[in-house]
Amino acid sequence: MRLELRDILIKNIQFGDVSEIKNHTLYVNRQDIESLVMEDEHIKEVLIDIARPGEEVRITPVKDVIEPRVKIDSDTGMFPGVISKVRTVGTGKTNVLKGSAVVTSGRIVGFQEGIIDMTGEGAKYTPFSETNNLVLVCHCHDQIKAQDHEKSVRLAGIKVANFIGELSIGLEPDQVAVYETLPLLQNILKYPDLPKVAYVQMLQSQGLLHDTHVYGVDAKNIIPTILYPTELMDGAIMSGNCVSACDKNTTYHHQNNCVVHDLYKKHGTEINFVGVIITNENVYLADKERSSDWTAKLAEFLGVDGVIISQEGFGNPDTDLIMNCKKIEEKGIDTVIITDEYAGRDGASQPLADADEKANAVVTGGNANELVILKPMKKVMGHMEFIDKIAGGFNGNVAEDGTITIELQAIIGATNEIGFNKLSARDY
């Protein structure tokens, strides 16, 4: 598959009489957005706002973040199986509104929904303090089921991102990048002397409100399978889960999976990047065994020399991570795992809930229990009622002046387990 990503740089976002893109500025007509969101009968009201880098704005609780994109050379649409026909993506040309994002918020449901600060200490830990954000605060009707509430709010974000992406049709890109993966046998023949590497991406799927969608199918209902890397880059996977904000993979993360991007940078020179294996994270032991067996089997079937494995979430998924690592290593394939740590606020506790001696090459996204202090913001988009109850919060963590003491766990993307974060290591 060959995919051409055509970046159109968005340097500002404003409200306007007409929804359009001019001179690197995204203009949004409120009525256009409201009409689109209010098509959903479950939503009774939507508050539409803008958050730019450097502004004294806090967005919470954040449900999802989506990058506006559009396919421009085929009848294949974005977000297949959700708002477009179920057609395979990952080929052709896609416009990307780089520097912009749609952020969804609303009444808290899962208590694992986090914070984006556009300035101050919190902004240092989330990549979305650097994007020009169109914020949708959606209020659903009372008595709606939790899963229907979350579905409606997240679908609103997908629909709006798709609408905004379509504004770029006919525009010339500021930069173009081409990514290509040949069919397996051709790929191996083209680079016979390079080590063959695959990426195993674990998708959050552990119970109610822990959903990730693959071509519109809840990942709970899949068995591990193989994707071209460009399918991930082109909207095949969408977020739909409430997990701790720090290591949640939003839809934006899936669209911009940096493991895939980094492997492509070395493809054909240092490694032969042969493809992606997606697998789910399960509740029951039998399901964990089945999925990890299949993941190891597919890695063996591809004939790879090495595998990178990333997880999403923590605690229970640590078992899935270690199972995948151990079983792939037992096939004679080297592994590197990407995770984050819940090592206590002092960093002294066991960082993962499971371990094995074969998991001896680890990349960490940081300690999610580390405490940070967030100063008050002039404006809050969403609401602050549950800031002491979201994952990472605690009773009494909000001072009288509005200052928040909270764990990194509460900040969207702070310790992201595909490495899409701002933390780094240093020697002392």
In a domain, residue 205? The reply is yes
Quote the CA–CA distance of 67 and 245 in Å, as a whole number. Answer: 18
In a domain, residue 417? The reply is no
In a domain, residue 427? The reply is no
Q: How confident is the model at residue 292 (pLDDT cuts 50, 70, 90)?
A: very high
pLDDT of 242 reads 79
pLDDT of 353 reads 86
In a domain, residue 422? The reply is no
Quote the CA–CA distance of 98 and 131 in Å, as a whole number. Answer: 8
The larger pLDDT score, comparing residue 115 to residue 76, is at: 115
Quote the CA–CA distance of 103 and 156 in Å, as a whole number. Answer: 10
Candidate list 138, 242, 246, 325, residue with the active-site label: 242
Q: Are strands 371-374 and 132-140 parallel, antiparallel or unpaired?
A: unpaired
In a domain, residue 420? The reply is no
| Residue ranges making up the domain that contains 298 | 2-410
pLDDT exceeds 90 at position 43: yes
pLDDT of 241 reads 84
Q: For residue range 119-139, what is the model confidence (pLDDT) as tens digits?
A: 999 999 999 999 999 999 999
Percent of the chain with pLDDT over 90: 83
In a domain, residue 426? The reply is no
- Region 136-147: mean pLDDT is 90
The region of weakest confidence among 65-69, 107-111, 244-248 is 107-111
Residue 242 is among the residues annotated as catalytic for this protein: yes
Categorise residue 113: left if φ over 0, alpha if ψ from -120 to 50, beta otherwise: beta
- Region 231-246: mean pLDDT is 91
Quote the CA–CA distance of 194 and 307 in Å, as a whole number. Answer: 14
Residue 190 host element (H or E):
helix 184-190
In a domain, residue 51? The reply is yes
Buried b (16+ CB within 10 A) or exposed e, 121-150: ebbebbbbbebbbbbbbbebeeebeeeebb
To the nearest whole number, what is the mean pLDDT of the chain?
94
In a domain, residue 306? The reply is yes
Q: How confident is the model at residue 285 (pLDDT cuts 50, 70, 90)?
A: very high
Global pTM value: 0.95
Is residue 272 within 8 Å of residue 286, measured between CB atoms?
Answer: no
Q: For residue range 172-227, what is the model confidence (pLDDT) as tens digits?
A: 999 999 999 999 999 999 999 999 999 999 999 887 778 899 999 999 999 999 99
Q: How many domains does the chain contain in total?
A: 1
- Could you give the C-alpha distances from 196 to 124, 169, 183, 247, 299, in angstroms and in order? 36, 37, 13, 28, 10
pLDDT exceeds 80 at position 110: no
